[in-house]
Amino acid sequence: MKKHNFYAGPSILPQVAIDETINALKDFAGTGISLASISHRTPQFDDVMNEAVSLFKELLNIPEGYSVIFLGGGASSQFAMIPFNFMRKKAVYVNTGTWATKALKEAKMFGDVVEVKSKDFFSLPKNIEVDKDVDYIHITTNNTIYGTEYKEDLDYGVPVIADMSSDIFSRPIDISKYTLIYGGAQKNLAPSGVTFVIVKDDALGKVDHKIPTMFNYATHTSKNSMFNTPPVIPVFTALQTLKWIKANGGVEGMLKRNNEKADKIYAEIERNPIFKGTVAVEDRSIMNVCFIMEDKYKDLEVEFQKFSAEKGMIGIKGHRSVGGFRASIYNALDIESVDALVKTMQDFEKEHIK
Ligand SMILES: *Cc1c(COP(=O)(O)O)cnc(C)c1O
C-alpha cells in the first residue's frame, strides 16, 4: 500500500532528490567515491555548493547584496546567533508559537525584548506597531505546530528577521523586505543537518561586542559556507530539491500546487461534520493543516488515528503540545496524497454517521 507522508519534519522530499542522493552515496559525480566519504575541498563538492547557492538565489529572486550560507546547528542555533550578531539594545519578537517562544528566550540573554502576541496561538497578531529605535523585529512566518502563517511580506519600518523553516520555497518572497531569513532545511528542502541563512551583507558587523568566530555570520559569508566542514550530504540533497523546484515551475509553481492542496483539505475539514479546524481562517497555513474532532465526536479521535494509519496516512498526529491532527503538506507532497486523506476522512464519516 502507498504510504502518504504527512510528517511535520523531517518530512517528505521529492523522490528524485532521494534517488540522486542514493546514487551519489554510491558514486559521487563519477569520482568512484561515496558522497559520504569525499573531501568537501574537492572541486566536485565546490560545484555542489556553488550551484546550491546560485539556484537558491535564482529561485527566490534574491537581489544583489545578500549572501546565502549553509550551516550546521539547526534553526535552533539561529535563535542565539541572531541576537549575537544583530542585537545592540532592543528587539521586538512576535511570539506566534512554540518556536517563536524559544527564539525569544534566547534573545533575552542579549538585550531587551519587546514581546508581541495574540490572545492565543490560533491567530496571528496584525498591524504591529514597532518603535523605530529597535534593532530588528523577529517573526516566524509559518508556525509549524499551530498551523498559522503570514502569507505576505510585511513592512515594519525596522529590519525584519524571519524564521522560515517550514515555508521557505512554498511561495515567492520579497527578499528585499528582510535583513535575514533562516530555517532548518528538514521541512521543505533537505534531510536534517543543514540550516540555510539568507543575510543582507551590509547589515553585518554593526554590534560593538565580540562574536566568537563560528557564531559570526561574516565568517561564513566570507568563506562561502566552507570555513569549517559543511553538512555535505544534506547540502547535496538540498541542491537536488532546488532542481526539482525549478523543474516544477519554481516558487510560483509551488504556491499554485500548495494552494490547491490546502484548499482541498480545508474544504473537507469544513464540510465533514466529524472534524473542525483550529485556527482563524485568514491565518491558516498552507503547509501545516491542523484539525481536531468536533466535540460530539471527541471519543473517536483514537479510532481515526488507527483508521487513517490503516489507509496509509503517516504522521498526521498533532504535535504533543496541541493534540488532534496535523497534516503537513509540504512542497513535495503530491495532490494524490491530499486526495487520499480527504477520502479517508469521508470514509470515516460514512462509518460513523449513517
Ligand atoms: C522545526 C522548526 C524549528 C527548529 O528547527 P531545528 O532545525 O530542529 O532546530 C524552528 N522553527 C520552526 C518554524 C520550525 O518549524
Domain positions in the chain are: 15-247, 249-352
pTM of the entire predicted model? 0.98
Name the closest-CA residue to atom 7, ligand 1: 74
d(CA 334, CA 157): 38
Question: Is 111 close to ligand 1, i.e. is its CB under 6 Å away?
Answer: no
- List per-residue pLDDT tens for the chain, 354 residues long: 999 999 999 999 999 999 999 999 999 999 999 999 999 999 999 999 999 999 999 999 999 999 999 999 999 999 999 999 999 999 999 999 999 999 999 999 999 999 999 999 999 999 999 999 999 999 999 999 999 999 999 999 999 999 999 999 999 999 999 999 999 999 999 999 999 999 999 999 999 999 999 999 999 999 999 999 999 999 999 999 999 999 999 999 999 999 999 999 999 999 999 999 999 999 999 999 999 999 999 999 999 999 999 999 999 999 887 889 999 999 999 999 999 999 999 999 999 998
The answer to whether 19 is a known catalytic residue is: no
Whether the CB-CB separation of 33 and 344 falls below 8 Å is answered with no
d(CA 330, CA 254): 9
Helix (H) or strand (E) segment spanning residue 288: strand 288-293
| Core vs surface per residue 94-119: b (16+ CB within 10 A) or e | bbbbbbbbbbbebbeebbebeebebe
Residue that has been written with the C-alpha cell 487520499 in this structure: 340
User: What CATH class does 15-247 carry?
Assistant: alpha beta
The CA 287 to ligand 1 mean position distance, Å, reads: 14
Per-residue cell: 104: 525569544
CATH fold of 249-352 reads Aspartate Aminotransferase, domain 1 (3.90.1150)
Question: Is 144 close to ligand 1, i.e. is its CB under 6 Å away?
Answer: yes
Per-residue cell: 55: 539556484
Question: Is 184 close to ligand 1, i.e. is its CB under 6 Å away?
Answer: yes
